[in-house]
Amino acid sequence: MARRDTLTNLFNRAHFNEWIQRQTKHAALCKIPLSFIMIDVDDFKKINDSFGHITGDEVLKTVARCIASSIRSSDFAARYGGDEFIVVLHDASEKQAEQIAQRIREKVAVSKELGLNVDISYGVAELEPGADHLKVLQKADEAMYRMKKAKKAPLDIQG
């Protein structure tokens, strides 16, 4: 089975599922934290519907390049599915993950390759050595959806 997503050249979800099992055991033995970043392209369906799937594919490739250029060789990035990505930072705190996620978001925002404005939402969570990675992954996913929802909420202006 191929380990890479053919569109983005990041690892695929199947490889992530294998890799994370080994990595969490290693991190627990060495008492090293791992931090997760879940990333989702905002309004991706609207991009596909308005500009076509070829443009949608270019958006995914651009986001993947921004991710790959923002992480270290010891870190891990995969296309999690559709327009979602997962990043696992080796020996990094939640605060460090937040900084890297913001860097990725800024790179996507200033990317001129596409000729359109693209934004991402993200959520971060730290996996303490020995903790259940699925719970931490869910925590990052929930944080990503909170960010996405907050962007769509109307402003509460006090008068």
Active site residues: 83
Which has the closest alpha carbon to 98: 40, 144, 37? 37
Give yes or no for a contact between 42 and 151, defined as CB atoms under 8 angstroms apart: yes
Token pair recorded at residue 82: 């559709």
| Residues in the chain, overall count | 159
DSSP calls for 82-131: TTEEEEEEET--HHHHHHHHHHHHHHHHH--SSSS---EEEEEEEE-TTS
Give yes or no for a contact between 68 and 16, defined as CB atoms under 8 angstroms apart: no
